[in-house]
Chain A
Amino acid sequence: MRREGSPFQGVGTVAVKELSDNLSSARMFVLEWLIVLTALAALYGAIDSLRQNTAEDPFLLLRLFTVDRAPLPSFVAILGFLIPLMAIGLGFDSINSEHSRRTLSRILAQPIYRDALLMGKFVAGLATLAISLAALWLLVIGLGLIFLGVPPGGEEIARSLAFLVIAIFYAGVWLALAMLLSIVFRSPASAALVALGFWLFLTVLWPMLAPALAQLIAPPDPRYAALGLQTPETTIWAQTLSRLSPNHLFGEAMLAVLSPTTRSLGPVFIDQLRGAMMGTPLPLRESLIIAWPQTVALIAGTIVLFVAGYIAFQRQEVRA
Chain B
Amino acid sequence: MSDTGSKAAAAANDIVIAARALTKRYGKVSVVDAVNFDIRKGEVFGLLGPNGAGKTTTILMMLGLTDISSGQVSVLGHDPARAPLQVKRRVGYLPDSVGFYDHLTAVENLSYTAKLMGLPLAERTRRIAAALAQVRLSDVAYKRVAIFSRGMRQRLGLAEIIVKQAEIAILDEPTSALDPQATHEFLDLIGELKSEGVTMLLSSHMLDQVQRVCNRVALFQAGRIVLIGPVADLARQVLGAGFVVEVEADGAGLARRLATIPGVTGVETSAEDRFRLTADRDVRADAARAVVAANGSLRRLSVDEPSLEAIYARYFQGESKLTGGTRDAA
What is the distance, in angstroms, from B88's C-beta to the closest C-beta of chain A? 4
Interface readout for A76-112 with B: 1 if CB under 8 Å, 0 if not? 0000000000000000000000000111011111111
Say yes or no: is A319 at the interface (Cβ < 8 Å to chain B). Answer: yes
- Interface positions, chain B 53-73, Cβ under 8 Å from A, are 56-57, 60, 63, 65-66
Does any Cβ of B come within 8 Å of A4's Cβ? yes
Judged by a CB distance under 8 angstroms, whether B160 is at the interface is yes
| Complex Cα spacing A111 to B92, Å | 10
CB neighbours of B116 from chain A (8 A): 10, 13-14, 107, 110-112
Quick check: A319 and B60 within 8 Å, CB to CB? Answer: yes
Determine the chain A residues whose CB is within 8 A of the CB of B113 once the complex forms: 106-107, 110
- A100-138 interface mask toward B, CB cutoff 8 Å, 1 = contact, 0 = none? 011101111111110000000000000000000000000
* Docked complex: B90-124 residues within 8 A CB-CB of A: 91-95, 97-103, 112-113, 115-118
Contact A4 B82 (CB under 8 A): yes
**Does A57 count as interface, using CB distance less than 8 angstroms?**
no
Number of interface residues of A (CB under 8 A): 25
A304 within 8 A of B: no
A5: nearest residue on chain B (CB-CB)? B85
Interface 1/0 per residue, A1-13 and B, CB below 8 Å: 1011100011001
Cross-chain contact B82 with A318 (CB below 8 angstroms):
no
Chain A contact surface mostly? loop
In the assembled complex, which residues on chain A have CB atoms less than 8 Å from the CB atom of B95?
102, 105-106, 109
| Chain A residues near B160 (CB-CB < 8 A) | 106
**Bound state CA distance, A101 and B99, in angstroms?**
5
B interface SS class: mixed
Contact B83 A4 (CB under 8 A): yes
A129 to chain B minimum Cβ distance, whole angstroms, is 21
Q: Is the CB of B65 within 8 A of A110?
A: no
Is B191 in contact with chain A by the CB < 8 A criterion?
no
Chain B residues touching A, range:
20 to 34
> B84 an interface residue at 8 Å Cβ cutoff?
yes
Decide: A9 near B115, CB < 8 A? Known: A105-B65, A106-B160. no
Q: Across the two chains, which residue of chain B brings its CB closest to A114?
A: B65
Interfacial chain A residues near B84, Cβ < 8 Å: 3-4, 113
Please determine whether B85 and A9 come into contact, CB atoms closer than 8 angstroms: yes
Tell me whether A271 is interfacial, beta carbon within 8 Å: no
Q: CB of B157 within 8 A of chain A?
A: yes
Cross-chain contact of B98 among A1, A10, A106 (Cβ < 8 A): A106
Q: CB-nearest residue of chain B relative to A318?
A: B65
A17 touches B112 (CB 8 A): yes
Given known A-B contacts A4-B86, A106-B93, A106-B160, A111 and B118 have beta carbons under 8 A apart: yes
A56 at interface by CB-CB < 8 Å: no
Q: Report if B89 contacts A (CB, 8 A).
A: yes
Q: What separation, in Å, do the CA atoms of A10 and B115 have in the docked complex?
A: 8
Cα–Cα distance between A102 and B157 once the two chains are bound (Å): 12
Minimal beta-carbon separation of B100 from chain A (angstroms):
7
Residue of B nearest to A14 (CB): B116
Q: State the Cβ distance, A279 to closest chain B Cβ, in Å.
A: 56
Question: Which residue from B56, B82, B89, B103 sits with its C-beta under 8 Å from A111?
Answer: B89
B92 → chain A closest CB, angstroms: 8
Q: Which residues of B contact A103 (CB under 8 A)?
A: 99-101
In the complex, are the beta carbons of A106 and B157 less than 8 A apart? Answer: yes
- Check A111 against B117 for contact (C-beta < 8 Å): yes
CB distance from B99 to the nearest CB of A (A): 3
A113, A317, A319, most chain B CB atoms within 10 A: A319
- The answer to whether residues A3 and B102 also contact, given A110-B117, A111-B88 and a CB cut-off of 8 A, is no
Point out the residues of chain A lying under 8 angstroms from B82, CB to CB: 1, 3-4
Minimal Cβ-Cβ distance residue in A for B170: A109
Contact of A109 among B65, B100, B103 (CB under 8 A): B65
Q: Are A101 and B98 in contact (CB under 8 A)?
A: no
Could you give, for residues 305-319 of chain A, a 1 whenever the CB lies within 8 Å of some chain B CB and a 0 otherwise? Answer: 000000000000111
Contacts of B91 in A (CB 8 A): 109
Interface bits B148-185 vs A (CB < 8 Å: 1, else 0): 00000000010010000000000000000000000000
**Bound complex: CA A317 to CA B57 (Å):** 10
- Contact check, A110 vs B88: say whether CB atoms are below 8 A apart: yes
Bound complex: CA A4 to CA B112 (Å): 23
Q: CB within 8 Å of B: which of A1-45?
A: 1, 3-5, 9-10, 13-14, 17, 21
Query: Among residues 280 to 320 in chain A, which have CB atoms less than 8 Å away from a CB atom of chain B?
Result: 317-319
**Which of A10, A13, A103, A111 counts the most chain B CB atoms within 10 A?**
A111
21 contacts between A and B (CB under 8 A): A4-B82, A5-B85, A10-B115, A10-B116, A13-B115, A101-B101, A102-B95, A102-B99, A105-B60, A105-B65, A106-B98, A106-B157, A106-B160, A107-B113, A108-B65, A109-B93, A109-B95, A110-B117, A317-B66, A318-B60, A319-B60
Known pairs A9-B118, A13-B112 / 10 extra A-B pairs, C-beta < 8 Å: A3-B84, A4-B84, A102-B99, A103-B100, A106-B95, A106-B98, A106-B100, A109-B65, A111-B88, A319-B56
Give chain A's interface residues, CB within 8 Å of chain B: 1, 3-5, 9-10, 13-14, 17, 21, 101-103, 105-113, 317-319
Q: State the 5 A-B residue pairs at the shortest beta-carbon distance, nearest first.
A: A102-B99, A109-B93, A110-B116, A5-B85, A111-B89
